[in-house]
Amino acid sequence: MDDILDNVSLEDQDVVLKIFGQNSYLKMGTKLDVDEGYRVALIKDEQVFDLFGPGEYIFSKKRLPKLSRYLFDKNIDLSRFKANIVFINREKVDDLKWGVNLNIDSYNIQSYGTYEIKIVQILYFLKTILFQNEIKKDSHLVNFFRQTIEGALKSYYNEQLDEIIENNFDQDFVEDNAVEKVIESFKKFGIIVDSFNILNLKYKKLNSEVSSQTTFNTKPQEENYEVYQEDKLNLGADLKEIFPSIPDSEDEESFVICTKCEKKIAYNNKYCPYCGTELELSRGKVKCKNCGEIIDNDSKYCSNCGELLEETGS
């Protein structure tokens, strides 16, 4: 039997969104603690009922008027009922990372960077993102944000490719002009983009005699790194975490395969430079081509579907 939650509070203060109650029950008498900077919504059957600001609460019919009425009409026992408690961060959330790898016309364009957002319309945010996209936890939401940025940049590159080429894929030019697309894309979900930065951009021509030649933007990475240090942005442990590191050798052991986009990349990356996925699960792991399960790379058979795996490291 599922547990009944007696106390609900948020321990991790860095999340954008946290959901409680998906695998547990609530009751009248459950205690709720909401910290500064957060709002809480009570959700059931894809409907938002009662909202809470910072403070300490004990669930009761008086405290949950809308949800109590709904449960009563549905003949649901108030001493044990299912509902989701959703914590939403109302402060500016920084240190978010993105990365895209797009083929636009005859060019392959790879770019990645950081961004900051703030949720300003809670109900609109919940209805347009949480209900329509099956977001279950914070990592799902961050992946949704990355996909939103990918869609915005794809639209910008398609519309302005000629102008981008005329400016020789200048990183500052692309950043200055692409940010409006990103802002508009997030605004649809009740979210403000406070900052959007491209830390690195590179491109290559496809289907031509120079297809193997990669041309980098004119601003070197080292200069970018120094600039962002001077700005004192909070970029995590190190900007190099999301830069495409160069392996020490060409041995297969120097590379890993990203479990999302399946690109072959240097083992010492923390984030995939193509899609932005965190790579902790990629080290020593492979993806079953039959069912998609992530398993140890020394396995002979998939532990999920039993498929015979291809030899690795050969």
- Given 63, 89, 115, the domain boundary residue is 89
Of 5-14, 20-29, 32-41, 246-255, the range with the lowest mean pLDDT is: 246-255
Task: Please answer whether residues 111 and 198 qualify as being in contact, where contact means their C-beta atoms are separated by less than 8 angstroms.
Answer: yes
Q: Do 205 and 64 share a structural domain?
A: no
User: Is 264 a domain residue?
Assistant: no
Half-sphere exposure of 68 (CA within 13 A, CB side): 11
Q: What is the pLDDT of residue 217?
A: 37
Last residue of a domain, one of 89, 104, 128: 89
pLDDT tens by residue, 78-126: 888 999 899 999 888 888 999 999 999 899 999 999 999 999 888 888 8
pTM here is 0.62
Cβ atoms of 44 and 84 closer than 8 Å: yes
Say whether both 174 and 187 belong to one domain: yes
- Asked if residue 81 and residue 46 are part of one domain, the reply reads yes
How high is the pLDDT of residue 79? 86
26-36 per-position pLDDT tens digit: 999 999 999 98
* % of the chain surpassing 90 pLDDT: 38
Average pLDDT for residues 133-147, to the nearest whole number?
80
Full 3-state SS string of 91-160: CCEEEEEEEEEEEECCEEEEEEEEEEEEECCHHHHHHHHHCCCCCCCHHHHHHHHHHHHHHHHHHHHHHH
User: Which residue range(s) make up the domain with 32?
Assistant: 7-89
Residue 15 has pLDDT above 70, yes or no: yes
Say what the pLDDT of residue 267 is: 63
pLDDT of residue 65: 92
Q: Model confidence over 186-238: pLDDT tens digits?
A: 998 899 998 999 999 999 988 643 333 333 333 333 333 333 333 333 333 33
pLDDT given at position 276: 66
Asked whether the predicted pLDDT for residue 248 surpasses 50, the reply is no
Q: What is the pLDDT of residue 269?
A: 66
Question: The domain spanning residue 115 has which CATH number?
Answer: 3.30.479.30
101, 213: one domain: yes
- Stretch 126-135: mean pLDDT: 75
Q: Are residues 231 and 105 in the same domain?
A: yes
Please report which confidence band the pLDDT of residue 249 belongs to, taking 50, 70 and 90 as the band edges: very low
Q: What are phi and psi of 193, to 5 degrees?
A: -90, 110
In the predicted model, is pLDDT for residue 155 greater than 90? yes
Q: Is 310 within a domain?
A: no
Radius of gyration of the chain (CA): 23
Residue of 177, 186, 202, 178 lying closest to 274 (CA atoms): 202
**Domain end position, chosen among 89, 123, 148:** 89
| Tally of domains in the chain | 2
